[in-house]
Amino acid sequence: MKRVPSRFFSLVLLLAPFYSWSSEWQFNGFVGQGYIAADDTQLVVGEGDTSFNITEAAFAVSWKPIEHIRIASALSYRQWGSLAEGDVNFDYLFIEYSHQVAEGMLGIRGGLFKNETGFYSSTRNVPFTRPSIMLPQSIYSDYFRDAQLHIEGVDLFGMHQIWDGAVDWHVSVGKVDVTEDLDRNVMGSAKLGSFDSERYYSTDIEFQNDYLRLGLTYFDAEVSYLPSMEDYYPGDIRLKKWVFSGQFRYMNFEFTAEYMTGDRLINGLAFPPMADELVDSGIGYYLDLRAYLPHEVELFVRFDKHIDDKDDTDGKEYEAVTGLPAYFAYTDDWTFGARWFLNNDWLLAAEYHWVEGASWVTPIVAPDPSTQSQHWSMFALQISYRFQW
Amino acid sequence: MRLLATWMFVLYLFCAHSTAAQVIVNDSAIDFPLPASELRLIFSMQKVYWPDGQKIQVLILTPGSEVHKEFCFKPLDMMPYMLQRRWDRLVYSGTGERPIILKNEAEMQAQIARTPGSIGYVADPVLSGGNRVTRSLYETSP
């Protein structure tokens, strides 16, 4: 939160030289209010069974003061039950230069921008662009959301037309912008210590035409940890992941699958510094089938699978080593949902998650079998409004 | 007889409403066939330059309007909210902009006439206001 004023100041500095008001501006925004009810878990709802503290809003500005230059920024508010405390933050704030190359374009932007992992990372907070209220956690984990979403650095990008479609790609280098939400979601409390960003590299390429969408992302993100209690040790968490994405549309049906593989490397935290680096080779994937029906109604069913360690798919080894139940090492989530565009500006969405396992349930390093069952469920409802000026 | 007339009238009403929206461009835009797939790229904001290097300026009517929906279904062959989803992705990731939204067709004609590189649509070619109608081009496309 304290970063907002300083970033606002830098925005003003950035804009100050361009005092002519005649150039092009564009404003967009949305507001969403949700309701979540969950059984046999404390994820999102905390100690209660339900939560109305599911509020999202954003206001985005894009401005082209002169040819080739664009400045874009968005302020967002997000409160997501126990996962994200209500806070206003810059979602992105950058300056970009782009130029035509053949029929496409090349560009570079610097500042705070969104990561482009998979199909949905960069717009995961937006009810209108994400496929469901809670994204498939195997790939878009809410607990680690904060350690991947906002990048401060430089992004080189391009867009080209091929095969009746378009390819766009990004190469990004920078640091991750972390908040206290990450401390809470990983360790269980912000009082136990704090995470800080180290470095972030990623490369992403995506192709889209009328019926096909394909994507590939690699990222390497590291956050360091400094404890404030003696029970934990200084260290770091590093993620090196590949994400493969595919979407196919036929008539009114759309099939989407994404697959993530790679390593999670942990030094310290719950393990003393002399212990070896803990390497988990996790796997996550989901399969999503949806039908676009008349009257702007969308129905979907999805199976989402996550395994912490690919050599221990049923968690038996995890149970033997940690003494915790095996179901904290994997998650199977069946989701059934509907989305309905009441008109162009209003969206009503509802979904039910039927889940076995708890590998992505917060807090990640402190699982609690007394509050988190092997089988649990979640119902979510959200109404959202968008505006375009 | 009266029944027939009523039916004819209903049919006439139906026909009158089924004329597809027409794509119009500023005269500076290069005259070349614009297949439907190309149009979809342009209106999805995934193709932002004309081949001669001129920036494409995409103009639309209010997304909730009948003409806009007609335009999406007919020449574009795309569901309106699919198109909107592509714009939202650009807007909220910050990586791009959506088309410029205009209030009515008169504004569309005027804006296209004075903006080099611009492209938009009207309900009827009569409303093109002297701007070039690209009708023949997309009709020849797959």
pLDDT surpasses 80 at A253: yes
Query: In this predicted structure, what is the pLDDT of residue A12?
Result: 59
**pLDDT for A22:** 45
Closest to B40 (Cβ–Cβ): which among A123, A168, A210? A210
Find the mean pLDDT for residues A143-151.
78
Q: Test B49 with A292 for CB contact under 8 angstroms.
A: no
pLDDT at B36 over 50: yes
What pLDDT score does A64 carry?
87
The CATH number of the structural domain formed by B19-134 is: 3.40.190.10
Q: Which amino acid is at A203?
A: T
Query: Is the Cβ pair B97, A62 closer than 8 Å?
Result: yes
The CA distance from A235 to A188, in Å, is 16
Instruction: In whole angstroms, give the CA distance from residue A276 to residue A261.
Output: 22
Q: In chain A, what residues touch B41 (CB-CB under 8 Å)?
A: 161, 165-166
Which of A31-45, A237-251, B112-126 has the lowest average pLDDT? B112-126
- CB < 8 Å to A161, chain B: 41, 46-47
- Place A384 in a pLDDT band, splitting at 50, 70 and 90: very high
C-alpha to C-alpha distance for A339 and A67, rounded to whole angstroms: 39
Q: What is the pLDDT of residue A21?
A: 45
Report the percent of chain A where pLDDT is more than 70.
89
**Does residue A247 form part of some domain?**
yes
- Asked whether residue A19 carries a pLDDT value surpassing 50, the answer given is no
> What average pLDDT does the structure give for chain A?
86
Chain B interface includes A23 (CB < 8 A)? no
Q: Where are the domains of chain B?
A: 19-134
Residue type for B93, please?
S
What pLDDT sits at residue B139?
43
Mutate to test the interface with B, among A23, A24, A27, A28 (most CBs of B within 10 A): A28
The torsion defined by the Cα of A377, A76, A171 and A65, in degrees rounded to 10, comes to: 150
Question: Do residues B127 and B105 make contact, with C-beta atoms less than 8 angstroms apart?
Answer: yes
pLDDT class for B140, splitting at 50, 70, 90? very low
Query: Would the pLDDT of B135 be above 90?
Result: no
* Residue-level pLDDT at A45: 83
Q: What average pLDDT does the segment A26-34 reach?
A: 92
Nearest CA-CA distance, residue B131 and chain A, Å: 23
The answer to which of A147-151, A341-345, A351-355, B39-43 has the lowest mean pLDDT is: A147-151
Over range B102-128, report the average pLDDT. Answer: 82
> What pLDDT was estimated at residue A227?
76
- What is the CATH number for A173? 2.40.160.10
pLDDT cut 90: percent of chain A above it? 43
A89 and chain B in contact, CB less than 8 A = no
**Mean pLDDT, range A212-228, rounded to an integer:** 87
What is the number of structural domains in chain A?
A: 1
**Residue type (1 letter), A345:** D
| CB-count exposure of residue B86 (10 Å: 0-12, 13-18, 19+) | buried
Torsion angle of the four alpha carbons A308, A311, A317, A319, in this order, in degrees rounded to the nearest 10:
20
Q: What is the mean pLDDT of residues B5-27?
A: 60
The predicted structure's pLDDT at residue B129: 61
Residue numbers in B near A62 (CB within 8 A): 91, 94, 97
For residue A8, the model assigns a pLDDT of 62
Number of A/B CB contacts below 8 angstroms equals 91
**B81 DSSP 8-state letter:** H
pLDDT class of B130 with cuts at 50, 70, 90: low
Give residue B46's identity as a one-letter amino acid code.
Q
Domain-located, residue A350: yes
Is the model's pLDDT at A97 over the cut of 60?
A: yes
**pLDDT confidence tier of residue A216, bands split at 50, 70 and 90:** very high
With CB atoms and an 8 Å threshold, state whether A161 touches B46. Answer: yes
User: Mind telling me how many Å the CA of A200 is from chain B's nearest CA?
Assistant: 18
Domain housing A313: 93-388
The whole-number average pLDDT for the span A75-81 is: 89
Where b means 16+ CB within 10 Å and e means fewer, A216-253 reads bbebebbbbbebeeeebbebbbbbbbebebebebeeee
Query: ipTM of this predicted complex?
Result: 0.83
Strands (E), A84-162: 84-101, 104-114, 150-162
Q: Which residue has the higher pLDDT, A51 or A192?
A: A51
Whole-number pLDDT of residue A212: 93
- pLDDT tens per residue, range A283-293: 999 999 999 98
Chain B residues lying within 8 Å of A92, measured CB to CB: 93-94
For the segment A16-37, the average pLDDT, to the nearest whole number, is 76
Read off the pLDDT band of A13 (50, 70, 90): low
Give yes or no for residue B12 having a pLDDT over 60. Answer: no
Question: How far is the C-alpha of A54 from the C-alpha of A134, rounded, in Å?
Answer: 11
Over residues A302-345, the pLDDT tens digits come to: 999 999 888 888 888 888 888 889 898 899 999 999 999 998 89
Q: What pLDDT score was predicted for residue B104?
A: 87
Closest A-chain CA to B99: A26
Residues of B in contact with A128 (CB under 8 A): 84-85, 88, 92
Residue of B nearest to A125 (CA): B92
